[in-house]
């Protein structure tokens, strides 16, 4: 299988620019809501046939160049026996918040658990699709933010307090999160996933110093693990730590708040300083808010991102965060065609 997505990840600019969307599987698609009806989010992730079907839906509809596997960053928590559910419209909610040293000792005693349903689902998706399946996992800080808070939060205050007040417990927690995310990725790669993305969605609530000291080491355990497939490293609101995000990965995901041209200039400079000869590959960063604008507004924005991406060795087009729930699927289909024709 030749894949423009995999060529780009390898640093070779393909003739046709690859495009996929974070959160393309689910959410805005009517065919998703139909097959998911009556099954909870985490339950559906553990039914291989259903997860494979949802993974394939956006590829059939939009013609995207990669199929992100339908699952959730909290699935490895559930597989390890931790009490978690995804409340519609709220997000991941834990049975309890893990805050004290004793809570964390209790948590990290959980073993990763059986991920064979994930491997089976990825296998089914791979058998159907002629584009690569992309595995993913949550970065330790983003997972730990849910575990320590017990629920979604705006500024992740309790997690940030813990890393300073009890670094020993914090590092034990972050390393355990890395361990379960590694097992989750292994299960997907064993099923045939050809690349993976590490999501650090909440890293933007950290100072660069705190990210580097308390979170980068456990993320590096995942990115630096000897997986056989390339990686993409994405964080939201991470402009202050872009150079740190570029370590140990093949491709940096740029969020919508960061200027793509500026990001490429900075990443090039960091490569020159370190003497790196790796290709510079970026992913991003269409502002999801503009999907609801008229083509007269959206199209020039996309053109500008395509032009900016030329300064990298290769560019994978994506949004600068996930597809909004109420996005019009036809806008995404048109966007894929536009990127492919560019």
Write out the residues near ligand CP3 by the rule CB under 6 A.
22-27, 41, 68, 70-73, 86, 88-89, 91-92, 136, 142, 199, 201, 322
Q: Which residues of 16-52 are buried (b: 16+ CB within 10 A; e: fewer)?
A: ebbbbbbbbbbbbbeebeebbeeeebbebbbbbebbb
Smallest gap, in angstroms, from Cβ of residue 10 to ligand CP3?
Answer: 22
Instruction: Report the residue number, 92 or 132, with the smaller CB distance to ligand CP3.
Output: 92
Instruction: Report the residue number, 177 or 280, with the smaller CB distance to ligand CP3.
Output: 177
Instruction: Report the residue number, 72 or 244, with the smaller CB distance to ligand CP3.
Output: 72
Instruction: Report the residue number, 309 or 322, with the smaller CB distance to ligand CP3.
Output: 322
Helix (H, G, I), strand (E, B) or coil at 199: strand
Instruction: Report the residue number, 141 or 176, with the smaller CB distance to ligand CP3.
Output: 141
Instruction: Report the residue number, 187 or 280, with the smaller CB distance to ligand CP3.
Output: 187
Cβ pair 205, 237 in contact under 8 A: yes
Smallest gap, in angstroms, from Cβ of residue 313 to ligand CP3?
Answer: 25
Beta bridge partners of 232: 197, 251
- Helical H runs in the chain? 4-9, 30-36, 41-45, 48-62, 75-79, 101-108, 116-128, 140-149, 157-165, 167-190, 208-210, 216-223, 242-245, 260-274, 295-309, 329-341
Smallest gap, in angstroms, from Cβ of residue 252 to ligand CP3?
Answer: 16
**In the numeric block, which tokens belong to residue 221?**
């355990």
CA nearest neighbour of 285 among 319, 311, 238, 261:
319
Smallest gap, in angstroms, from Cβ of residue 197 to ligand CP3?
Answer: 7
Smallest gap, in angstroms, from Cβ of residue 294 to ligand CP3?
Answer: 25
Smallest gap, in angstroms, from Cβ of residue 135 to ligand CP3?
Answer: 10
- Beta-carbon contacts of residue 149 (< 8 Å; ≥ 6 apart): 97, 156, 157, 158, 159
Backbone angles phi, psi at 80, to 5 degrees: -85, 0
Cβ pair 125, 52 in contact under 8 A: yes
Smallest gap, in angstroms, from Cβ of residue 72 to ligand CP3?
Answer: 4
Instruction: Report the residue number, 11 or 152, with the smaller CB distance to ligand CP3.
Output: 152
Quote the CA–CA distance of 134 and 280 in Å, as a whole number. Answer: 20
Q: Which residue is nearest to ligand CP3 (CB)?
A: 26
Smallest gap, in angstroms, from Cβ of residue 35 to ligand CP3?
Answer: 11
Instruction: Report the residue number, 27 or 248, with the smaller CB distance to ligand CP3.
Output: 27
Quote the CA–CA distance of 299 and 322 in Å, as a whole number. Answer: 19
Cα angle for residues 60, 66, 70 (degrees, 5° grid): 75
């Amino acid at each position: 299988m030749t894949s423009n997505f995999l060529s780009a990840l390898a640093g070779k600019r393909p003739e046709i620019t690859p495009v996929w969307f974070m959160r393309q599987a689910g959410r805005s698609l009517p065919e998703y809501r139909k097959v998911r009806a009556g099954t909870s989010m985490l339950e559906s992730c553990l039914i291989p046939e259903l997860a494979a079907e949802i993974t394939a839906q956006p590829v059939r509809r939009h013609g995207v160049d990669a199929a992100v596997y339908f699952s959730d960053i909290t699935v490895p928590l559930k597989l390890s026996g931790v009490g978690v559910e995804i409340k519609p419209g709220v997000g991941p909610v834990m049975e309890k918040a893990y805050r004290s040293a004793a809570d964390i000792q209790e948590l990290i005693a959980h073993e990763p658990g059986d991920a064979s349903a994930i491997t089976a689902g990825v296998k089914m998706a791979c058998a159907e699709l002629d584009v690569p399946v992309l595995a993913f996992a949550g970065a330790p800080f983003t997972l730990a933010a849910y575990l320590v808070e017990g629920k979604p939060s705006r500024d992740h205050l309790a997690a940030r307090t813990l890393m300073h007040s009890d670094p020993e417990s914090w590092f034990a927690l972050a390393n355990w999160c890395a361990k379960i995310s590694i097992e989750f990725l292994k299960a997907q790669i064993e099923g045939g996933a050809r690349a993976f993305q590490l999501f650090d969605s909440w890293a933007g609530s950290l100072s660069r110093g705190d990210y580097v000291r308390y979170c980068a080491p456990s993320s590096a355990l995942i990115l630096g693990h000897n997986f056989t497939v390339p990686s993409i490293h994405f964080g939201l609101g991470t402009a202050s730590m872009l150079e740190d995000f570029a370590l140990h990965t093949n491709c940096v995901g740029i969020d919508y708040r960061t200027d793509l041209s500026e990001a490429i200039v900075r990443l090039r400079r960091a490569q020159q300083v370190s003497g790196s000869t790796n290709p510079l590959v970026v992913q991003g960063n269409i502002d999801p808010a503009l999907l609801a604008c008229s083509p007269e507004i959206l199209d020039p924005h996309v053109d500008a991102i395509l032009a900016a991406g030329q300064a990298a060795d290769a560019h994978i087009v994506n949004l600068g965060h996930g597809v909004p729930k109420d996005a019009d699927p036809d806008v995404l289909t048109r966007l894929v065609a536009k990127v492919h024709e560019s």
